[in-house]
Amino acid sequence: MPIVLLAITAACLAALWWHVRAQKIALQGGLKSEQRQTLALRKSLELLSEGVVLIGHRKQVLYANPAAASLLDAEPVLEPSEIMFSSFTRHQVLLGLVKRASSEETLRQSLEFGQDDEQPRSVEVTLAPLGGGGRLVILQDIRVGALVDKRRRDFVANASHELKTPIAAILGMLDLADVVEDDKRSELLDRARKNAVSLANMTDDLLRLARADDPDWKPAPSLLDLDGVLQEVIDNLQERANEKGLTLHLSTDPACGELIADRFSLFTVVQNLVLNAVIYTRQGSIQVRSFSPSQGVIAISVQDSGPGIDPDTLPHIFERFFRGDVAHSRASGGTGLGLAIVRNLLRRMGGRISVRSEPGVGSEFIVELPTNPTRALPAG
Ligand code: ADP
Q: pLDDT tens for residues 355-367?
A: 999 999 999 999 9
pLDDT of residue 10: 54
Structural domains in the chain, sorted by start:
47-141 (3.30.450.20), 218-370 (3.30.565.10)
Is 70 exceeded by the pLDDT of residue 11? no
pLDDT of residue 65: 93
CA nearest to 293, candidates 301, 283, 284: 301
Residue 13: Cβ-neighbour burial (10 angstroms; 0-12, 13-18, 19+): middle
Read out DSSP for 175-206? HHHHHS-HHHHHHHHHHHHHHHHHHHHHHHHH
pLDDT of residue 118: 44
- Report CA(136)–ligand 1 centroid distance (Å): 51
Question: Does residue 103 contact residue 129 with C-beta atoms inside 8 Å?
Answer: yes
Residue type, 34: E
* pLDDT per position as a tens digit, 84-138: 999 999 888 889 888 888 777 888 888 877 644 445 678 889 999 888 888 999 9
For residue 354, the SS3 value is strand
Indicate the Cα dihedral angle 51, 56, 57, 59, nearest 10°. -70
- Report CA(323)–ligand 1 centroid distance (Å): 6
Q: Hey, which of 339, 342, 364, 367 would you mutate to test ligand 1's pocket, going by the most ligand atoms within 8 Å of its Cβ?
A: 339
Q: Hey, which of 205, 301, 318, 329 would you mutate to test ligand 1's pocket, going by the most ligand atoms within 8 Å of its Cβ?
A: 329
Is 70 exceeded by the pLDDT of residue 27? no
What's this model's pTM, rounded to 2 decimal places? 0.68
pLDDT of residue 18: 52
Tell me the average pLDDT of the chain: 87
- Report CA(57)–ligand 1 centroid distance (Å): 60
- Report CA(289)–ligand 1 centroid distance (Å): 20
Q: Pocket residues for ligand 1 (CB within 6 Å)? A: 276-277, 280, 304, 306-307, 309, 317, 322-325, 329, 334-340, 363
pLDDT of residue 24: 56
For residue 362, the ligand 1 atom closest to its alpha carbon is 24
For residue 339, the ligand 1 atom closest to its alpha carbon is 6
- Report CA(146)–ligand 1 centroid distance (Å): 29
pLDDT of residue 117: 42
DSSP label of 113: E
- Per the DSSP assignment, residues forming a β-bridge with 240 are none
pLDDT of residue 40: 79
- Report CA(233)–ligand 1 centroid distance (Å): 18
Instruction: Determine what percent of the chain is predicted with pLDDT higher than 90.
Output: 57
CA nearest to 269, candidates 195, 175, 343: 343
H or E segment and range at residue 86: helix 85-88
**Nearest protein Cα to ligand 1, atom 3:** 336
H or E segment and range at residue 364: strand 362-370
| Alpha carbon of residue 145 to chain centroid | 14
* pLDDT per position as a tens digit, 296-308: 999 999 999 999 9
- Report CA(277)–ligand 1 centroid distance (Å): 8
- Per the DSSP assignment, residues forming a β-bridge with 224 are 259
Is 60 exceeded by the pLDDT of residue 70? yes
**Nearest protein Cα to ligand 1, atom 14:** 323
Q: Hey, which of 276, 304, 313, 343 would you mutate to test ligand 1's pocket, going by the most ligand atoms within 8 Å of its Cβ?
A: 276
Cα 347 from Cα 154, distance rounded (Å): 22
- Report CA(331)–ligand 1 centroid distance (Å): 13
Q: How confident is the model at residue 4 (pLDDT cuts 50, 70, 90)?
A: low
Cα 380 from Cα 375, distance rounded (Å): 15
**Nearest protein Cα to ligand 1, atom 13:** 323
pLDDT of residue 22: 53
- Report CA(324)–ligand 1 centroid distance (Å): 6
pLDDT of residue 189: 93
Q: How confident is the model at residue 143 (pLDDT cuts 50, 70, 90)?
A: confident
**Nearest protein Cα to ligand 1, atom 21:** 276
Instruction: Determine what percent of the chain is predicted with pLDDT higher than 70.
Output: 89
* pLDDT per position as a tens digit, 262-271: 999 999 999 9
- Give me Rg for the CA atoms of the chain: 29
